[in-house]
Amino acid sequence: MVETIQVHAIRVQSHGGPEVLSFDKVEVGAPGAGQVRLRHTAIGLNFVDTYFRTGLYPAPGPFPFVLGSEGVGVVEAVGEGVTEFKIGDRVGYADPMGSYAEARLSPAARLIHVPNGISDEIAASSMLKGMTARYLLRETFKVGPGHTILYHAAAGGVGQIATQWAKALGATVIGTVGSDEKAEIARRLGCDHVINYRTEDFVERVREITGGAKVDVVYDSVGKDTFPASLDCLKRRGTWVSFGNASGAVPPFSIGILNQKGSLYATRPSLGAYIAERSELVKTAKDLFDVILSGKVVVAEPQTYKLADAAEAQRALEGRQTTGSVVLIP
C-alpha cells in the first residue's frame, strides 16, 4: 500500500509580489486511478508563473495553492489503470499546475517520457518553452523558407529556442532584445539581425533591414511596450502573434486597426489549446526532443535556484536579471 508523504512546496498565500510565496510542508497522497506520484528532480520557472501569483491570470483554485506548471522527475508510485508509465520512469510535463513541490500527483495522461540524451535540468527548462516555440512556429504561423520573422525578446527562454528553430526552418530572423549583452546572445543563436529596442526604434530598423518590405509575422511576448508598434512591422496581411505580457497586458484596442494597417491577422494563443489532446501533447514533445537531439536547437544549461528560494528567482526573472531559462532544484 502506498502511504501519504510529507514534502515541501512553494504556495501562493494571496495575490501580490514574490513576498506572498511561502515554503510550506504539504501532504501528497497515494495516486488515484489514472494518476502517478512523481518525485521532482528539476522544476521549470516560467514568466507565466508570475501572472498567476499577481492575479493577472485567475488563481486555479482557493488560496493557498502550489505554483508552477513544468517539471521533471521519477515515478515513485502508479495508480489503477496506468499502463504507459512504471515506477522508476523518468518523466516530464508542462501542465497541470502544482510543480513547485518536492513531489506531486499528476495525471498520467499529461506526462511524457524524457528520452536519454536530455538531462533533467535541460528537459525541465525547455519543455514548456520549447513546446511553446513549436506551436508558434509550426502551428500558429507555419514558418518556412522565404519568411522573415520579427521575434521580440529573442534572448529570453522561449526566444532562445524559437530563434534557433526558425533558422533551422529556413526563415530570416530579426530579433529584438533589451540590452547589448542580450544582443550578443541573440547573434550567437543565429539571429540574422538584432535590434536593441531600448536604444533603437525597432519599427524603423525593421523597415531598413527589409528594404521597406517588412515581416510576415511578429511573435510578441512583451505586450504593452511593443504594442501597437509591432503592427507597423508587418507586411500587408501579416500576422501578429501576441503570446505574453512581460511588460504588462496589451490594452484594449479597436479591431478596426487591423484593417487600417493592412488587413492584418491577430491572434492570442497559449500552449494549452495546442496540447489539449494526448496525441497533440506527444507529437509536440517528440518534435521538441527530436530537434534538440538533432543539434539544430541547442538548449543552454539553465540557471538554478533552490526550490526554497523561488521568491528570489521570481524577483530576478521579473527584474529582467535572468538570461535564458531558470530551474528550481528540490
Q: Is 22 helix (H, G, I), strand (E, B) or coil?
A: strand
pTM confidence score: 0.91
Q: How many CB atoms lie within 10 A of CB 170?
A: 11
Name the maximum alpha-carbon separation found in the chain: 69
The pLDDT tens digits along the chain (330 residues) read 789 999 999 999 999 999 999 999 999 999 999 999 999 999 999 988 999 999 989 999 999 999 999 999 999 999 999 999 999 999 999 988 999 999 999 999 999 999 999 999 999 999 999 999 999 999 999 999 999 999 999 998 899 999 999 999 999 999 999 999 999 999 999 999 999 999 999 999 999 999 999 999 999 999 999 999 999 999 999 999 999 988 888 999 999 999 999 999 999 999 999 999 999 999 999 999 999 999 999 999 999 999 999 999 999 999 978 866 899 999
Task: Report the C-alpha gap between 160 and 153 in whole angstroms.
Answer: 9
Tell me how far apart the alpha carbons of residues 254 and 234 are, in angstroms, rounded to a whole number. Answer: 18
R_g of the chain, CA atoms, integer Å: 20
Helix axes 157-168, 120-135, angle to 10 degrees: 60
Q: Are the C-beta atoms of 104 and 74 separated by less than 8 Å?
A: no
**Residue 150 vs residues 89, 214, 265, 280: alpha-carbon distances, Å:** 39, 9, 15, 26
Q: How far apart are CA 44 and CA 126, in angstroms?
A: 8
Residues 309/324, Cβ–Cβ less than 8 Å:
no
Look at strands 172-177 and 148-151 and give their pairing: parallel
Which residues have CB under 8 Å from 142's CB, separation 6+?
Answer: none
